[in-house]
Structure 1
Amino acid sequence: MTNAGARARPLKPVVRQSTAAMIADSVRAALERGDLPPGTQLGEADLAKQLGVSRGPLREGLQRLTQEGLLLSIRNRGLFVIEMTPDRVRDMYVARQAVERAAAEQIHLGTPEEAGAQLMEITDTMSRTAEADDHSGVGEADIAFHDLLVRLAGSPRLSLMHRTLLTETRMGIHALDPTYEGNEARVAEHRGIAQSFLDRDPAATDRLLQLHMADAVERLTADHG
């Protein structure tokens, strides 16, 4: 009689998200929605009650967001949501540009046509929402485009860094209230980036990403110093 168990591959452990991680995700989502505006002081008692958790996991979850730079701990004062100043937005886009250009480089080493096709689908969605004058829909498609771009690079580290940067991007949009008068131009920028992958033209992708980031900074910081 053979020992089937001896030949079987060992089972991989089931990965369960910790309570602290779920708390961090919940608070991060609130930051992205603008429910916790920049400068808001976070009270542990109130948050623990809202989330239905004890203080220990709550503190661990908030500590994760502090390490990501989304919250600021001030000694003897408490924990605050970061202020989205023009200087912080500019610096955030420096980091976003570095991450997304690195992701694009990795995509071009693999199958850029497949990536371009997927990105073009999101661009088509963005175009439809722009035609409907749905500014919120255009914004969501914009975020989805850049999120997918980095995920297609297949780098967990780039994706991890990018998640925080996209949260800050959403926070900046809520805080600085940019005007998007040229949604058609915004769609065209994304379509050009997607097309550069279809064309297998890494130089064009890199140039278009830089121009796109510069345009985003201009929109977000206009009239804010």
Structure 2
Amino acid sequence: MEGRPTAQLIADHLRNQIVQGVFLPGEQIKESVLAAQLHTSRGPVREAVQRLSQEGILVSRRNRGVFVLELSPQDNKEIYAVREAMEITAADALLDADPGHLRDTCRALSRILRSMAKQVTVSHWHNLAQLDMEFHTTFVAGARNSRMSRIYETLAAESTMCILALENSYPRPTDLVHEHQTILNFLEAGNKQDLHHAIRRHLEKAVLDLAV
């Protein structure tokens, strides 16, 4: 299947289930139950669980088992602080890239924004959260730094969990689309200082909203 080891497929599946809220923060992950559901042995399930534990999405508690991460206010601050540093680095790389690559990246971001606006119209917060993260991963991928993208993707699941938690903190989801549009506008204009400011303001605002 897709040329990937079973453990990786299971890890990807479980990560997706956690992000989608099938497994809630604090919920225990039982290897035997998961193996039965996926019709596989416990070996690859155990390896998948270990991978997600290394990513920080799952937490192992001695003599109790493995549980879905519960994000604390400090976790949120750390996640968004790292994202801020990486996205500003990606912004500089994009602005220094050849014009053709910058245009391609901006077009990709614009397509995501149009999809985000549609989800606001139908009030589908979960899809909006997924597209929010897609916008940022596409932005960072535009830096064409494979190691940075790999590190950033490790944050993606945790970040999506944070975004989903913002549903009750955003009385107007259109604000979220507007913040991303502002980032794209400054990127297209090549305005480095304002782009940095927009990224910082967007991510710092998310941390404040999460603390509500």
TM-score if structure 1 supplies the norm length?
0.84
Mapped to 2, the partners of 1:135 and 1:176 lie a distance apart of: 9
How many angstroms apart in 2 are the aligned matches of 1:44 and 1:198? Answer: 47
Q: Which moved more, 1:19-28 or 1:149-158?
A: 149-158
Q: State the Cα distance separating 1:205 from its structure 2 match.
A: 1.5
- What does residue 95 of structure 1 align with? 82
**Which residue does 1:126 correspond to in 2?**
116
Q: Which residue does the alignment assign to 1:185?
A: 175
Inter-partner Cα distance in structure 2 for 1:159 and 1:151: 6
The answer to whether structure 1 residue 40 and structure 2 residue 30 are counterparts is: no
Residue 68 of structure 1 deviates from its aligned partner by 0.6
Q: Which amino acid aligns with 2:60?
A: S
Indicate the residue corresponding to 1:76 in structure 2: 63
Assess if the C-alpha contact under 8 Å between 2:125 and 2:167 holds in 1.
no
Q: Is the 8 A contact 1:113 1:199 kept in 2?
A: no
Structure-2 change in CA distance of 1:116 and 1:173 (3 Å) = closer
Q: Cα distance 1:151–1:175, how it changes in 2: closer, same or farther (>3 A)?
A: same
2:53 aligned with 1:63, yes or no? no
Following superposition, the deviation at residue 174 of structure 1 comes to 4.1
Deviation at 1:25, TM superposition (A): 0.3
Please tell me whether the aligned partners of residues 130 and 183 of structure 1 are also in contact (alpha carbons under 8 angstroms).
yes
* Counterpart check, 1:27 vs 2:6: no
Q: Which moved more, 1:128-137 or 1:165-174?
A: 128-137
Identity %: 33
Separation (CA, whole Å) in 2 of partners of 1:77 and 1:128: 43
Q: What amino acid is the match of 1:113?
A: R
User: Are residue 195 (structure 1) and residue 185 (structure 2) matched?
Assistant: yes
Sort the Cα spacing of 1:206 and 1:41 in 2 relative to 1 into closer, same or farther, 3 A.
same
Q: Comparing 164-173 with 123-132, which one deviates more in the overlay?
A: 123-132
Unaligned regions of 5+ residues in structure 2, if any?
none
CA deviation vs aligned residue, 1:15-70 (integer Å, no higher than 9, x gap): 82111111110110011011111111111111111122211111111111111111
On the 8 A contact 2:129/2:163 being kept in 1, the answer is no
TM-score (norm 2): 0.89
Deviations 1:126-184 (A, max 9, x none): 23333444434433332221121112222222222222212112223445653321223
Call closer, same or farther: CA 1:169–1:51 in 2, change over 3 Å: same
Is the alpha carbon distance of 1:19 and 1:220 closer, same or farther for their aligned partners in structure 2, counting shifts above 3 Å?
A: same
The answer to whether the aligner puts 1:204 opposite 2:194 as a matched pair is yes
Q: SS in structure 1 opposite 2:169?
A: coil
Whole-Å separation in 1 of the counterparts to 2:6 and 2:178: 42
Q: Flag the 1:203–1:192 CA change in 2: closer, same or farther, 3 A.
A: same
Task: Identify the match of residue 116 of structure 1 among 83, 94, 106.
Answer: 106
175 and 40 in structure 1: CA distance in 2 versus 1, 3 angstrom threshold: farther
- The unaligned stretches of length 5 or more in structure 1 are 1-14
Letter in 1 for 2:91: A
